Chains A and B, each alone.
Chain A
Amino acid sequence: MAADAHKLEIFRGLIKFKSNTQKIWGVLIFLSIVTAIEVVLGIYKPEVFNGHFIGLKVLNWIFIILTLVKAYYITWDFMHMRDETASLRRMVVWTGVFLIAYLIFILLQEGEYVGSVFTNGFVKNDF
């Protein structure tokens, strides 16, 4: 694979790097910034984000979205998914996305139900 085969744009072409090496460092800086934001939010846990949205705290949604953003850039730029054919990309990513979304939905749904049985049921669990 020739070095010029890499796609050197990130953020939909907002930033265009001159070489692959430069892009790697650029992505590292971006990932570090995102991690730093996560850590600061994790330490201080601002009260602003204490509200709930679809069963989760807003702060937790922020963490999950930032994680997915990080996962995207690790896969696309470090694992060179950006340079693969669209069919390979879809084969790997959508298979994962569908199965993972299904598994998460089914387990969390069930977990919440079992939890509500513990809380509202007639079995004492704190004694």
Chain B
Amino acid sequence: MLEKSWPAEGVTRVPYWVYQDEEIYREEQAKIFRGATWSYLCLEAELPEPKSFVTTFVGDMPVVVTRDPKGALHAWENRCAHRGALVCMQPRGSAERFTCIYHNWTYDHAGNLTSVAFRRGIAGKGGMPADARPESQAPKQLRVESIHGLVFGTLSNEVASLETYIGPEILPRLKRVLVKPLKVLGSYTQVLPNNWKLYMDNVKDTYHASLLHLFFTRFRINRLTQKGGVFVSPDGAHHCTYTEMVEDRGDAYEKDGMRSAGSQEFRLEDPEVLDQVDELGDGVAIQILSLFPGFVLHQIRNSLAARQVVPKGIDRTELHWTLFGFADDDEAMTRRRILQANLVGPAGYISMEDGAATGFVQRGVAGSPERASVIEMGGSTIASGDSRITETAVRGLWKAWRHYMQV
């Protein structure tokens, strides 16, 4: 068994066993996903009416999120008290109650066990003893909070309120996007061939954006030379990076002879796909925000989306994308969001590479659990700043991860 000690350098080194170890994976499920953190569950817009429900995940744990007949939100483990089967099989819908198909045990919208089939037997025969307590194995119920249309849940009674958990550095950046009631445009799943942390680490890596994703630089649309910055919460857990809407006129990439240098040859023939309206009124072209452990909110021009990171084993991750607009969007705005959907997702002009790059890391480190990645862009600190040529938010992820994992 490998000695799992962190390199002496601290957060500027991330040992590769963190992406490879089954025991680490199991501990993460308990200490992080089922621990004192808030996990994104769904959008409130997916639960528009009383009695509606969706199914989702907190780490490996299947979860049902409901709106009860009075309108209150609930979330509970999608596991029957009896034999552990999934209680709710549909991805979404509306239900009076939830009945496990296996033996017809039934639950209310809050996940309380309300009836056990033939509990008293039939005609005095069979059934459970009077002192049986099947409720003792009832599905776990989560604390639920929603913030401007995003629904989060936690199994922890200790973790602070959601707003306190997110903190004053990141909260205003979240609220900045969620200014009106939301409308779902659709969803899909991208399956990534890598550990879930490699995706979070990629999202927080502001340095890679214009070097890996050549679309913006090749077509001279967005570069690190544009004004922007990064915010990191003091515990390192959450981050937000943004870029302002100024077209680049510089030649920093050409001078450095970078692969992503622009060229006069490359111009989009039909740039409508990029037409942005400054709907939030602050001149921000792109904002990427992440909350520990597995939530990303993006505003890429007028494309808005929630990304939920769902671990599926040490080397497999599902990324559940839900793209949305505002309920009062007109036809032109919906068209804009649909065209800009081309930028994101598995076929996204500026996102398709992420799954490939993080998969390359998973494959590249296969023989070196004892070696570590070098994360020294911007030094060794974890702090907000106005440069994106930094790995400060990546170091933040590892500070937070080590805190929860006690490594």
A pairs with B: no
Binding site for A on B (CB under 8 A): none
